[in-house]
Amino acid sequence: MSIKQSDVEALYARTESGSGVLRDPGVAHLTVNHNKILSSHTLEGLEVDAKEIEDGVDVRLVLRRGVRIAKTVHMCFGMTASEGVQRIKMRVELEENSGIAVLAHCVFPNAVDVEHIMDAVIEIGEGARYFYLEKHVHGERGGVKVYPKAAVRLAKAAEFKTEFELLHGKVGLIDVDYETTCEAESLMDVTARINGIEDDVIKISETGHLVGESARGALTSKIAVSGRAKAEVRNKLTASAAHARGHVDCKEIVRDQATATAVPIVEVSHPKAHVTHEAAIGSVDTKQLETLMSRGLDEDEASDLIIQGLLS
Amino acid sequence: MGLLEVRNLTLKLDGKRILNNLNVDFWEGHVHAVVGPNGAGKSSLASVIMGLSGYRDFEGDVLFDGKSVKDLSLDERAKLGMTMAWQEPARYEGLKVRDFIKASAKEKSDEAIRSVLSDAGLEDGDYINRAVDKTLSGGERKKVELASILAMKPRLAFLDEPDSGIDVESLERIFDAVQTLKSSGSTVILITHSPTVLRQAEHAFLLCCGELMAKGVVDKIDGYFTDQCLPCDHKNVPDKEGIGEL
């Protein structure tokens, strides 16, 4: 498919990678603006079947058995229009011992009233590895409602590492709903890093089920809110098999009139399983702040640097 | 006239007198030490001078370059060239050593940052890309903090217990860094109860129970350590009323 270069560049303009990476023949990619597929490129062993639907795209990605994609695959699902609904239906299947890393940008630079709905089903085969980093780039108006939902299943000894990052622009509303089931010896590592300002609303619900022997999992949320923003984190990790190990970690920094809640739930139903949790919500630590202020940073500069570190 | 002058300083916290009518001068370009037993008020004195939260309500005055800094915020004092290294440095989740040092550095290049890290005793390892968090030991964080002070090139730096958590081999590097600060014109104030650290200074002040008990050249104050304590009224002995029956 030919690349509609100006549209692609409009989407990639605010990303750190830029659109130049798409010219590398060793980089598989898929670029979608609203419900239009602007560009796609695939590699041997990686099948991407993308269809335009009325309000978005329907994508099926299959990585064949034993195939390891060397370079990060780039996806971009965005909208340059100021209004509309974008629905992404995604099915990802990684066959046995395959491996892939995906960097997905979700870009809404001009949004006034945009809904972005991602509904993903992800199956990671035995011994396969799937790294998925989703970076959101929003405009300054924050007229975006984002609903990322994923149901993930890890087969024996599979590995799933995902990071959700929304650090640039105004969040608007985000409502994350991930549920991951981990079979024996598999590894799940789910992280969300979000910076909310003004009247942003952040809701995170991440659930992990360690159902196989020696499955391991971590659910991590790092949130900063200021202005009148609200954050609500509900992370749940269950362990029902011997030697399953897990940890739930939530850190939220609150400034101004913002509010944050954290509800870590751990549920263990096997005597040889072990799950821990920690949650810390509060203002910026005084000692951290004063150390930086004693180097000449004012309070806002010091707070910003501390939060930048937390969310990095 | 000193670079830093403390005038009639009295500090009370929760109704308890922590510092009592202190008058102290710290001279420009010299290394000073403030010594005394635990609870003498050494760190409180530094906290008042720097304007840390909880230490801003006091009697008396603090003059820097002849001007009162009493009404200045912590960062405003830092912009004048005053800074401080804590006894137990803060941890910053995710914040890279590079960014931590760069925040205060006069020269912000990686080369300059590696140079101050080396001066603080962290020349090996890729410290510049590590985070100032729990993956660094207390001693390593102390060196990173010292490096950030070297990078800042302050006019006056408090180093609170610079030897705590530092291994013997590294201590000489810390002392070298103190001399580096001095040779670049900085005034250094070491807060310590270590005779080894005291000997890095040229002048010292002995505090006990918030009062200045003695001041002078280091040899004079060194007697505090050899004699266990210079003559004072041993005000650290608890009130009998507070002991209870044996």
Q: Map tokens 């820097």 to a residue.
A: B64
- Whole-number Å distance between alpha carbons of B237 and B240: 9
Q: Hey, is the C-beta of A167 within 8 angstroms of any chain B C-beta?
A: no
Residue A135 has a CB neighbour count (10 Å cut-off) of 20
Instruction: Provide the pLDDT for residue B236.
Output: 43
Q: Map tokens 């098999």 to a residue.
A: A241
- Whole-number Å distance between alpha carbons of A190 and A148: 13
Q: How far is CA B150 from CA B87, B96, B139, B167, in A?
A: 17, 17, 16, 20
Q: Dump pLDDT digits (tens) for B146-180.
A: 999 999 999 999 999 999 888 888 888 899 999 99
Kindly tell me if the per-residue pLDDT of A17 is higher than 50. Answer: yes
E strand or H helix at A193: strand A187-196
E strand or H helix at A63: strand A56-63
Q: In terms of DSSP bridges, do strands A144-154 and A113-124 run parallel, antiparallel, or are they unpaired?
A: parallel
- Give the pLDDT band (50/70/90) at residue B1: low
Q: How far is CA A54 from CA A34, A85, A88, B125, in A?
A: 10, 10, 11, 55
Kindly tell me if the per-residue pLDDT of A156 is higher than 80. Answer: yes
Q: Taking residues A134-157, what's their average pLDDT?
A: 93
Instruction: Provide the pLDDT for residue B118.
Output: 93
Q: Dump pLDDT digits (tens) for A78-106.
A: 998 999 999 999 999 999 999 999 999 99
Instruction: Provide the pLDDT for residue B240.
Output: 36
Instruction: Provide the pLDDT for residue B232.
Output: 57
Kindly tell me if the per-residue pLDDT of B133 is higher than 70. Answer: yes
- Whole-number Å distance between alpha carbons of A98 and A308: 34
- Nearest chain B Cα distance for residue A285, angstroms: 9
Kindly tell me if the per-residue pLDDT of B60 is higher than 50. Answer: yes
- Give the pLDDT band (50/70/90) at residue B182: very high
Q: Which residues does residue B191 pair with via DSSP β-bridges, in sequence order? A: B34, B160
Are A227 and A236 in contact by the 8 Å Cβ rule? The answer is no
- Nearest chain A Cα distance for residue B46, angstroms: 12
Q: Taking residues A108-136, what's their average pLDDT?
A: 95
Instruction: Provide the pLDDT for residue A1.
Output: 46
Q: Taking residues A173-192, what's their average pLDDT?
A: 97
Are A195 and A229 in contact by the 8 Å Cβ rule? The answer is no
Instruction: Provide the pLDDT for residue B231.
Output: 52
Cβ distance A295 to B96 less than 8 Å, yes or no, reads no
Instruction: Provide the pLDDT for residue B76.
Output: 97
What is the ipTM, given to two decimal places?
Answer: 0.92
Cβ distance A294 to B83 less than 8 Å, yes or no, reads yes
Q: Which residues of A touch B99 (CB under 8 A)?
A: 305, 308-309
Kindly tell me if the per-residue pLDDT of B7 is higher than 50. Answer: yes
Instruction: Provide the pLDDT for residue B226.
Output: 63
Q: Taking residues B52-62, what's their average pLDDT?
A: 96
Instruction: Provide the pLDDT for residue A10.
Output: 76
| Summary mean pLDDT of chain A | 94
Cβ distance A295 to B74 less than 8 Å, yes or no, reads no
* The two structure tokens encoding residue B112: 């300059």
